[in-house]
Chains A and B, each alone.
Chain A
Amino acid sequence: MLRYIGRRLLLTIPLLVGISLVSFLMMHMAPGGPIGAGTDLNPRATAESRARLKAYYGLDQPLHVQYGRWLGRMATLDFGDSFSPDGRPVAEKIKERIPITLTINVLSMGLIFLVAIPVGVVSAVRKGSLFDRISTVAVFTGFAIPTFWLALLMMILFGVELGWLPISGISSLDYESLGTLGKIADRGRHLVLPVLLAGFGGLAGMSRYMRSNMLEVIRQDYVATARAKGLPERTVVFRHAMRNALLPVITILGLSVPDLLGGSVIFETIFAIPGMGQLFYQGVMSRDYPLIMGILTIGAFLTLLGNLLADVGYALADPRIRQG
């Protein structure tokens, strides 16, 4: 097993280089460049100042030189400095955005699993029942409603009309003066709406997935055997059927690893959350090459890592695969 993991890890290195090369080329093929944001249609920017800025950022070098430089820095885990005017290290910019994005994603994913798995199981066990039908409509409504619209409605209700929850941002203006408990409560109040809404939209996929897995498993012979043994329905459903139906969830969890650090631009914009989605979006819009490359590389690494974790986790959980 360890040798297998080691081999897989080594394999990620050429894969990462390949992914970064493709990303790098795509990024440079897109029209525009980092200095355009400040100099395009700017009467005070002349050809000379443009050339100076290009040289300043090393953009006057041929592409392979630029990529080589970037790769050289990456080898020492140096993400470089952002091209935005603050010129801060990319690593620092990403680091300060991770906690909030991670918190929201972990919470909403937890919420999805907590709600979707039972809903899926019950829907499958009582296929065609009123509960099945209502829950189907409900989760698909959540999936279909434009989140930005629902978000605004919730803000109006809970923020403006009732005044129970803050509308946007991740902390109150007096955050610094609060005690530890107060800080947690304040952060929590700010997270309620974003987490609920992110979760609501994700229920459909997970609950449908769980439902069809469960339907699949419940038809299996061993479930019939369990029933024939005279086991109570609870035991049949939860011990014999559900545990097996949960196996594919490991794959989903593994594939979700990169999502943990990817934020949604629309969401973060509406709720004024300074997360990864906005950072990446702004990076792309201003053609902040080092920042884009940094985020893409992290995303690629996490995807590969998630796949590995899923495979290992699956092997650990399912003896059939372990032997194969």
Chain B
Amino acid sequence: MNPLPRRAAVPSIALLLLLAACSSGKTEGPGKGTPVPDVPAYGDAIVEGSIGDVSGFLAAVTTDASSHEAAGYVFNGLVRYDKDLKLEGELAESWEISPDGKRITFHLRKGVMWHDGAPFTSEDVMFTYRRMIDPRTPTAYGEDFRQVKHATAPDPNTFVVEYARPFAPALASWGMHVLPKHLLEKYPDISKSPLNKKPVGTGPYRFVEWKTGEKVVFDASPDYFEGKPYIARVITRVIPDQATMFLELKSGGVDIMTLTPPQYVRQTETAEFRKSFNKYKFTASGYTYLGFRLSHPFFKDRRVRQAIAHATDKKALIDGVLLGLGQEATGPYKPGTWAFNPNVRKYPHDPSLSKALLAEAGWKEKDGALVKDGQPFEFTVLTNAGNEARAKTAAILQQNLAEVGVRMKIRTVEWAAFINEFIDKRKFDAVILGWNITPDPDQFDIWHSSKTGPKELNHVGFANPEVDRLLDQGRSTFDLEKRKRAYFRIQEILAEEQPYVFLYVPEALPVVHNRFHGIVPAPAGITHNFTKWYVPAALQKHRVQP
């Protein structure tokens, strides 16, 4: 690798200074045999690779991951998820929930300033709430806020919301970024305000510039309420191609990115790579499933679904699709989190058991194929085009099912057509899709029998009175133990019923240049303490002068 940063993130005069800094002969400099002192230091820049460009900085009106990530540097919510995916206060120092569970009182942090110097108060929270329910705001996230019956800001540091009935997911909805009233008041439509392009927030980083399709630059906010971040500058570069991004990483043009399983397993296991980079691995918040249309004549029968689960070789899927970097999914929750029930019925790969279950359901083997009432067991699985992992999953499943005499055809369709023509119209036999797993376990929209209408998310048509009741119970109490009991039971029922064959939970595979210290891997990933990451003075690569 080239020792000098050829595409250094150095504003103004910095390049020469950088060279000078390298050769200024600090006593503990690298290459002198003495280890670099590992003490936090301010400075340096981190260059992130991102597949997609930002589409706006106001998270209320954007829906893509790149935009939300970028907005996270500049804005804060009242609450956030900590490293263990538990809610903690951010702009709210603390909160109280009334005994009947209907009222939440947030006590806001004092002395917080917007990046332009104006004070942050409960008026800003109130303004954000009003804009979230305003029909002129083009947001997809208004629903949680429309549940609020009444909101008040009794004093600058207190914000109170009342709900018609206790609603547990409500608390997490206050992670929505709080908007500066004094800057946005005069814009009836916040998406058209200049702040959507040049954000001003309360977060750890201040917006510097956004070059569309190229990069976004942020500088550390010196008066951030949790202390000035060590890394002085964050540059997010848009590199739409994974292979290109990886080459940029190797040549020093990118410091942090997410690896694909082949990159993680095959392309980074060299001594040279390890010399400069640290790889991390943690359970991703998502799972892939094979979902059945439950009104389909074949899949109405629970035994058939269980038979397909037994025919599925999840280990082969994980090895083939993820190169081993994942774990078997047994239900819709993330392994290791509080809502995850490890003791549900499992479906080990067992073709003979699968065949027995199919025979029990009336499927008889005839010339190597299964037949019932003169009809062969043949169906089509749909998945969206362009998702390589899902296409591979389909191919392996096809082979698994052929072993028990089930013929599965594969069809891939472009995303919008897939959703509108097939999923929404329920025109499918089975689908391979994935869900993100949110830290709050409420999955009312996915499993409740009332959510089977067009555009609603229970597209497989799952209906189970006990699950309906438990879903209601789980979301209407803040008592963690009660919620846990409800969700554990739901997982037992889902495992028994197999409306989906839950396939796998992949690993997230970030890689970071090893001059960045202070990274603490946790269930929430690695970026939860980003403001505490640092580069020891002697290792700093970019000289940033704000």
A: which residues have CB within 8 A of B?
30-33, 36-50, 52-53, 55-57, 81, 84-88, 93, 96-97, 152, 155-156, 159-160, 163, 166-174, 176-177, 268-272, 274-275, 278-279, 285, 287
CB distance from A257 to the nearest CB of B (A): 24
Specify the chain B residue showing the minimal Cβ separation from A96: B212
Determine if B10 is an interface residue (Cβ-Cβ < 8 Å). Answer: yes
CB distance from A223 to the nearest CB of B (A): 50
Residues of A within 8 A of B423 (CB): 41
CB distance from A191 to the nearest CB of B (A): 14
**In the complex the two chains form, is B238's CB within 8 Å of A47's CB?**
no
**In the complex the two chains form, is B248's CB within 8 Å of A168's CB?**
yes
Question: How far apart sit A48 and B453, CA to CA, in the bound complex (Å)?
Answer: 13
Segment of B23-31, B60-68, B497-505, B517-525 engaged in the interface with chain A: B60-68
**In the complex the two chains form, is A160's CB within 8 Å of B250's CB?**
yes
A278: which of B13, B211, B213, B457 is its contact (CB, 8 Å)? B213
Enumerate the 4 nearest inter-chain pairs by beta-carbon distance, A residue then B residue, closest first.
A274-B213, A32-B416, A38-B63, A85-B56
Residues of B within 8 A of A93 (CB): 212
Determine if B469 is an interface residue (Cβ-Cβ < 8 Å). Answer: no
Segment of B83-91, B136-144, B150-158 engaged in the interface with chain A: B136-144
**In the complex the two chains form, is B196's CB within 8 Å of A270's CB?**
no
Determine if B417 is an interface residue (Cβ-Cβ < 8 Å). Answer: yes
**In the complex the two chains form, is A173's CB within 8 Å of B47's CB?**
yes
Question: How far apart sit A105 and B185, CA to CA, in the bound complex (Å)?
Answer: 44
Interface size on B, residues (CB 8 A): 71
Of the candidates B10, B142, B192, B423, the one having the most CB atoms from chain A within 10 angstroms of its own CB is B142
Residues of A within 8 A of B421 (CB): 31
Determine if B455 is an interface residue (Cβ-Cβ < 8 Å). Answer: yes
Question: How far apart sit A45 and B456, CA to CA, in the bound complex (Å)?
Answer: 9
**In the complex the two chains form, is B251's CB within 8 Å of A160's CB?**
yes
A42: which of B12, B140, B240 is its contact (CB, 8 Å)? B140
Of the candidates A39, A81, A93, A163, the one having the most CB atoms from chain B within 10 angstroms of its own CB is A163
**In the complex the two chains form, is B238's CB within 8 Å of A272's CB?**
yes
Residues of A within 8 A of B240 (CB): 268-269, 272, 278
Question: How far apart sit A40 and B415, CA to CA, in the bound complex (Å)?
Answer: 10
Question: How far apart sit A271 and B6, CA to CA, in the bound complex (Å)?
Answer: 17
**In the complex the two chains form, is A272's CB within 8 Å of B239's CB?**
yes
CB distance from B529 to the nearest CB of A (A): 25
Of the candidates A49, A156, A174, the one having the most CB atoms from chain B within 10 angstroms of its own CB is A174
**In the complex the two chains form, is B11's CB within 8 Å of A272's CB?**
no
Residues of B within 8 A of A174 (CB): 7-11, 14-15
Task: Give a binary string over B99-135; 1 marks a CB under 8 Å from any A CB, 0 the rest.
Answer: 0000000000000000000000000000000000001
**In the complex the two chains form, is A159's CB within 8 Å of B247's CB?**
yes
Residues of A within 8 A of B138 (CB): 52-53, 56-57, 85
**In the complex the two chains form, is A272's CB within 8 Å of B244's CB?**
yes
Question: How far apart sit A96 and B213, CA to CA, in the bound complex (Å)?
Answer: 10
Residues of B within 8 A of A270 (CB): 241, 243-244
Specify the chain B residue showing the minimal Cβ separation from A149: B243
Could you list 27 examples of A-B contacts with CB < 8 Å? A30-B417, A36-B416, A36-B419, A40-B455, A43-B457, A45-B140, A49-B140, A49-B143, A56-B136, A86-B197, A87-B191, A155-B244, A155-B247, A156-B247, A160-B250, A163-B251, A166-B253, A168-B248, A168-B253, A173-B47, A173-B215, A173-B237, A177-B13, A272-B244, A274-B53, A274-B211, A274-B214
**In the complex the two chains form, is B55's CB within 8 Å of A169's CB?**
no
Other than the known A87-B189, A174-B15, what 4 A-B pairs have Cβ atoms closer than 8 Å?
Answer: A44-B144, A86-B191, A173-B8, A174-B7
Task: Give a binary string over B199-225; 1 marks a CB under 8 Å from any A CB, 0 the rest.
Answer: 000000000000111110000000000
Question: How far apart sit A41 and B453, CA to CA, in the bound complex (Å)?
Answer: 13
**In the complex the two chains form, is A173's CB within 8 Å of B9's CB?**
yes
**In the complex the two chains form, is A85's CB within 8 Å of B455's CB?**
no
Residues of B within 8 A of A155 (CB): 244, 247
**In the complex the two chains form, is A167's CB within 8 Å of B416's CB?**
no
Residues of B within 8 A of A167 (CB): 244, 247-248, 251, 253
Determine if B235 is an interface residue (Cβ-Cβ < 8 Å). Answer: yes
Question: How far apart sit A97 and B416, CA to CA, in the bound complex (Å)?
Answer: 26
**In the complex the two chains form, is A49's CB within 8 Å of B7's CB?**
no
CB distance from A82 to the nearest CB of B (A): 9
**In the complex the two chains form, is B11's CB within 8 Å of A152's CB?**
no
CB distance from B478 to the nearest CB of A (A): 20
**In the complex the two chains form, is B10's CB within 8 Å of A177's CB?**
yes
Question: How far apart sit A275 and B189, CA to CA, in the bound complex (Å)?
Answer: 29
Of the candidates A44, A88, A159, A176, the one having the most CB atoms from chain B within 10 angstroms of its own CB is A44
Give the residues from 1 to 60 in chain B that come closer than 8 angstroms, CB to CB, to chain A: 1-2, 6-15, 47, 53, 55-56, 58
Q: A49 and B142 in contact (CB under 8 A), knowing A43-B446, A155-B247?
A: yes
**In the complex the two chains form, is A172's CB within 8 Å of B416's CB?**
no
Q: A169 and B15 in contact (CB under 8 A), knowing A31-B417, A52-B135, A274-B213?
A: no
Give the residues from 247 to 285 in chain B that come closer than 8 angstroms, CB to CB, to chain A: 247-248, 250-251, 253
Question: How far apart sit A270 and B58, CA to CA, in the bound complex (Å)?
Answer: 29
**In the complex the two chains form, is A84's CB within 8 Å of B55's CB?**
yes
Specify the chain B residue showing the minimal Cβ separation from A165: B6
Residues of A within 8 A of B457 (CB): 41, 43
Of the candidates B2, B138, B239, B247, the one having the most CB atoms from chain A within 10 angstroms of its own CB is B138
**In the complex the two chains form, is A163's CB within 8 Å of B140's CB?**
no
Residues of B within 8 A of A57 (CB): 138
Question: How far apart sit A81 and B189, CA to CA, in the bound complex (Å)?
Answer: 13
Determine if B445 is an interface residue (Cβ-Cβ < 8 Å). Answer: yes
Determine if B98 is an interface residue (Cβ-Cβ < 8 Å). Answer: no
**In the complex the two chains form, is A39's CB within 8 Å of B14's CB?**
no
Of the candidates A40, A46, A48, the one having the most CB atoms from chain B within 10 angstroms of its own CB is A40
Determine if B94 is an interface residue (Cβ-Cβ < 8 Å). Answer: no
Specify the chain B residue showing the minimal Cβ separation from A151: B244
Question: How far apart sit A160 and B146, CA to CA, in the bound complex (Å)?
Answer: 53
Specify the chain A residue showing the minimal Cβ separation from B211: A274
Question: How far apart sit A38 and B64, CA to CA, in the bound complex (Å)?
Answer: 7
Give the residues from 403 to 459 in chain B that come closer than 8 angstroms, CB to CB, to chain A: 415-417, 419-421, 423, 433, 438, 443, 445-446, 453, 455-457
B214: which of A37, A159, A170 is its contact (CB, 8 Å)? A170
Residues of A within 8 A of B6 (CB): 163, 166, 172
Specify the chain B residue showing the minimal Cβ separation from A281: B240
**In the complex the two chains form, is A177's CB within 8 Å of B214's CB?**
no
**In the complex the two chains form, is A168's CB within 8 Å of B197's CB?**
no
Q: A87 and B140 in contact (CB under 8 A), knowing A43-B446, A270-B244?
A: no
Specify the chain A residue showing the minimal Cβ separation from B421: A31
B455: which of A47, A173, A177, A271 is its contact (CB, 8 Å)? A47
Question: How far apart sit A49 and B455, CA to CA, in the bound complex (Å)?
Answer: 12
Specify the chain B residue showing the minimal Cβ separation from A84: B55
Residues of B within 8 A of A177 (CB): 10-15
CB distance from B511 to the nearest CB of A (A): 16
Specify the chain B residue showing the minimal Cβ separation from A190: B7
Residues of A within 8 A of B189 (CB): 87
Specify the chain A residue showing the minimal Cβ separation from B60: A85
Question: How far apart sit A53 and B140, CA to CA, in the bound complex (Å)?
Answer: 8
Residues of B within 8 A of A41 (CB): 419, 423, 433, 457
**In the complex the two chains form, is A86's CB within 8 Å of B247's CB?**
no
**In the complex the two chains form, is A42's CB within 8 Å of B251's CB?**
no
Residues of B within 8 A of A156 (CB): 247
Q: A172 and B7 in contact (CB under 8 A), knowing A41-B457, A43-B446?
A: yes
Specify the chain B residue showing the minimal Cβ separation from A168: B244
Question: How far apart sit A56 and B134, CA to CA, in the bound complex (Å)?
Answer: 12
Residues of A within 8 A of B248 (CB): 167-168
Residues of A within 8 A of B136 (CB): 56
CB distance from A193 to the nearest CB of B (A): 11
**In the complex the two chains form, is A166's CB within 8 Å of B238's CB?**
no
